Amino acid sequence: MHSPKLIAVELPNSRYVVRVKNGQRLGTIFSTEQGWYYQFDGTPREGPRCHDLQEALGVMEAVAEHEHMIEPPDKRP
């Protein structure tokens, strides 16, 4: 699974490691009976519940851009 800037690599037990393409690890995405969640490495709590893996990855990418963990999209015409 991937987004334009992130890659999610599947682990056992409905967990995914999230990395920047050609870069460092950012955190994990995991599934529970209540839904999908994401958590950045070094943070004490997971992010809000998401509907599925793709939504969690997209939200994680947006948060990482906003927090300057990854480069924002190029806005040139």
CA distances from 9 to 2, 57, 67, 73 (A): 9, 11, 22, 23
Give the model's pLDDT for residue 13: 86
Mean pLDDT across the chain: 90
Within the chain, how many helices (H) and strands (E) appear?
1, 4
pTM, to two decimals: 0.85
Name the residue with higher pLDDT: 65 or 76: 65
Are the C-beta atoms of residues 42 and 25 closer than 8 Å to each other? no
Residue 50 DSSP symbol: B
Give the model's pLDDT for residue 25: 94
Are the C-beta atoms of residues 37 and 46 closer than 8 Å to each other? yes
Give the model's pLDDT for residue 36: 95
